[in-house]
């Protein structure tokens, strides 16, 4: 297998201890020379992160940790997109994605600052650059698969990842596997300890993921699931479709938050499928030592997202995109969203909500332009 360069991108509100495991694993796998790390601090990031990155650099690793001033200078060359990256938001990881694209690295590995490396990471993530992969592919009769079924949890109960449509929960679809081949261009790694659940789940029935059941597979072309920015690897060609959607707007009186990565995952997933590429789910598994959360507060930000995702995911699952490249496909998706949001109905679908989605598609188009500038 060709040893393609990997770029880890993360934002952080912590001091950077999470970096130790990824550096150690790079040593174990002999991946130091092909690893770049980009840490994007924010106004809430402690000063210790700069010292930690300096230490990692002194240990011989290629690591960037641009100051807020350096980030501002970088954004200035990106035209209208320069005004679309707010402070105090994980949306700022978009700066890291653009830097990764500009660097020419073939593999983007997006992690959160509480995703700790516990196993083979770089070899597994490199699957997004392989010419052809043959694996079991999962097909679900209702078009959706619950990734959390791949984990052993305590206490034993059914639970779903953040972003999984509520109208598809608590069904018992027929699941089948077929051996299939294709070009994997996105790899979705899962999480032990505290899985990625929404605030409703954490308030009602908190669980722990004690193990991974051991088999990774492809998503069938008819079968979807939510994809976040935690432990997710993608080929550089997909970055133009992986814009981290901006949050922070009031929808029907509720602030929208904490689902920027879920929207980005669904949008990119739609593009991957249209381009005829494949998505693999399973390893590498990260240890999710979840940052402190106020789940009641989280819920206030998530609820508007959950309500809008119900019709949005149902529509997106079956919509047929256009375009011969990822850029063209992503732009066609932006046009389709602009048209479709006028037809959604329900309490959440106010003029302000439709306006938010029109703003989202404006950002998507500016993202494509920004990607074009740096690549």
Report pLDDT digits (tens) over 300-319.
Answer: 999 999 999 999 999 999 99
Q: Classify strands 217-219 and 133-140 as parallel, antiparallel or unpaired.
A: parallel
Mean pLDDT within 162-170: 97
Distance CA 252, CA 349 (A): 8
The pLDDT value recorded for residue 3 is 85
- Please check the confidence at residue 181 and state whether its pLDDT lies above 80: yes
Mean pLDDT taken over the chain? 97
The pLDDT value recorded for residue 37 is 98
Distance CA 103, CA 6 (A): 10
- Please check the confidence at residue 268 and state whether its pLDDT lies above 90: yes
| Confidence label for 229 from pLDDT (cuts 50, 70 and 90) | very high
- Please check the confidence at residue 1 and state whether its pLDDT lies above 70: no
The pLDDT value recorded for residue 69 is 98
- Checking 349-353 for CB contacts under 8 A at 24+ apart, the result is 349/308, 350/251, 350/252, 352/249, 352/250, 352/251, 352/252, 353/251, 353/252, 353/304, 353/308
- Please check the confidence at residue 187 and state whether its pLDDT lies above 60: yes
Mean pLDDT within 96-119: 97
The pLDDT value recorded for residue 20 is 98
Contact, 23 vs 56, CB < 8 A? yes
Q: How far is CA 89 from CA 169, 257, 332, in A?
A: 30, 10, 27
| Confidence label for 83 from pLDDT (cuts 50, 70 and 90) | very high
Per-residue model confidence as pLDDT tens digits over 230-244: 999 999 999 999 999
Structure tokens at 102: 């500009």
pTM of the model: 0.98
Mean pLDDT within 166-188: 98
Share of the chain above pLDDT 70, in %: 99
Per-residue model confidence as pLDDT tens digits over 53-79: 999 999 999 999 999 999 999 999 999
The pLDDT value recorded for residue 2 is 65
């Amino acid at each position: 297998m060709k040893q393609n360069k990997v770029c880890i991108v993360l934002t952080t509100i912590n001091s950077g201890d999470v970096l130790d495991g990824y550096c150690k694993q790079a040593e174990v796998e002999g991946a130091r020379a092909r690893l770049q790390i980009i840490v994007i601090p924010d106004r809430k990031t402690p000063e210790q992160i700069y010292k930690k990155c300096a230490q990692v650099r002194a240990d011989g690793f290629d690591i960037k940790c641009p100051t807020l001033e350096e980030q501002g200078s970088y954004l200035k060359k990106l035209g209208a997109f320069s005004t679309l990256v707010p402070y105090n938001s994980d949306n700022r990881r978009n700066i890291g994605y653009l830097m990764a694209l500009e660097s020419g690295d073939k593999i983007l590995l997006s992690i959160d600052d509480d995703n700790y490396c516990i196993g083979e990471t770089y070899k597994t993530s490199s699957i997004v650059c392989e010419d052809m992969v043959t694996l079991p592919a999962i097909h679900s009769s209702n078009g959706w698969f619950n990734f959390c079924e791949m984990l052993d949890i305590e206490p034993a109960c059914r639970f779903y990842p953040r972003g999984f449509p509520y109208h598809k929960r608590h069904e018992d679809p027929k699941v089948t596997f077929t051996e299939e081949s294709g070009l994997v261009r996105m790899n979705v790694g899962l999480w032990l300890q505290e899985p990625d659940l929404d605030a409703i789940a954490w308030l009602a029935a908190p669980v722990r993921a004690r193990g991974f059941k051991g088999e990774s597979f492809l998503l069938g072309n008819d079968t979807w699931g939510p994809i976040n920015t935690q432990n997710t690897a993608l080929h550089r060609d997909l970055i133009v479709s992986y814009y981290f959607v901006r949050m922070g707007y009031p929808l029907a009186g509720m602030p929208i938050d904490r689902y920027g990565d879920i929207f980005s995952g669904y949008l990119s997933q739609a593009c991957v499928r249209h381009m005829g590429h494949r998505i693999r789910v399973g390893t590498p598994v990260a240890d999710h030592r979840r940052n402190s959360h106020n789940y009641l507060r989280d819920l206030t930000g998530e609820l508007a997202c959950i309500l809008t995702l119900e019709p949005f995911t149902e529509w997106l699952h079956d919509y047929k995109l256009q375009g011969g490249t990822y850029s063209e496909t992503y732009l066609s998706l932006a046009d389709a969203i602009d048209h479709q949001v006028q037809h959604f109905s329900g309490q959440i679908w106010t003029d302000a909500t439709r306006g938010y989605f029109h703003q989202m598609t404006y950002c998507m188009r500016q993202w494509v332009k920004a990607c074009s500038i740096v690549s």
